[in-house]
Amino acid sequence: MRTVGIVQARMGSSRLAGKVLKPLAGRSVLGWVIRAARESEALDEIVVATTTESIDDAVVEECERLGVAWHRGPVDDVLTRFVGALREHPADAVMRFTADCPLLDPAVIREAALIYRAVPGLDYLSTGLPHTLPRGTDIEIVGRAALAVADQAATAYHRTHVTSYVYTHAERFRLLGLTYTPGASDLRVTLDTQEDWELIQAVVGEFGDRTIAVRTLVDWLRAHPEIRAINAGVRQKELQEA
């Protein structure tokens, strides 16, 4: 089974513009995502799906610097971006990443890929069914056929969120949730606001320029309530929000 990792990345953001290329311990936030994906050794190829807007020329330049493939498509119709990237880089399954999650654990990426490959007939696997990991460390994989069905049927916000049509239509697809205990879904290490940025900087200030095992990250945040309080008040966008 050939699996391609597709990373959605763009400079425009309603809450923290330019976040994907912010410098973090000597590399861009996007660079952190690419490194974690590569360290997993679970993917046959990695592609960054960015937009055709001129502001995202900077994303393409960073892809060239990182030595990673890229594809450009619509701003809000992210599903079309993914389908276009998959057309140019064919695979049996897609692992979806967002470029605002610099603290991914390569071991979780690898485990998700291995389990997906080991269970015949799966359309979708996610650590978010239900969420048990900190927000910003989740992994999801969708099969090529399921993504094609979504592309034909999905409308409105389902096209922005890429996989949401699949996991909200369980009657049409075979889904599998991958859970981790003890649960840590109350923690937040995704990058969407200034408060998120301050927390992530604090984490990297402690651990340095390296990937961090999710259990190590959770244990450290539990031991430092003053750190996890930095972004505790940030509200996650609802599914219907772009």
Q: What is the pLDDT confidence band of residue 225, given thresholds at 50, 70 and 90?
A: very high
Query: Under DSSP, is residue 78 helix (H, G, I), strand (E, B) or coil?
Result: helix
* Tokens read off for 34: 């690419």
| pLDDT for the residue numbered 14 | 77
First to last CA, the chain: 32
pLDDT at 240 over 80: no
Tens of pLDDT, residues 75-116: 999 999 999 999 999 999 999 999 999 999 999 999 999 999
- State pTM to two decimals: 0.95
Model confidence band, residue 150 (pLDDT cutoffs 50, 70, 90): very high
Helix (H) and strand (E) counts in the chain: 10, 9
- Report residue 239's pLDDT band, with 50, 70 and 90 as the boundaries: low
Whole-angstrom distance, CA of residue 40 vs CA of residue 3 = 12
Mean pLDDT of all residues in 11-28: 93
Tokens of 239: 């599914």
The two tokens of residue 125 are 């696997």
Angle (nearest 5°) at CA 127 between 233 and 175: 130
- Could you tell me whether strands 124-126 and 175-177 are parallel, antiparallel, or unpaired per DSSP bridges? parallel
Instruction: Region of 121 please: left (phi>0), alpha (psi -120 to 50) or beta.
Output: left
pLDDT in tens, 89-100: 999 999 999 999
Domains of the chain: 3-228 (3.90.550.10)
Percent of the chain's residues with pLDDT above 90: 95
Report the alpha-carbon distance of residue 145 to residue 155 in Å, rounded.
18
Q: Helices marked H in 14-127 — which ranges?
A: 29-40, 57-66, 78-88, 106-118
Q: Say what the pLDDT of residue 241 is.
A: 45
When pLDDT is cut at 50, 70 and 90, the band that residue 242 belongs to is: very low
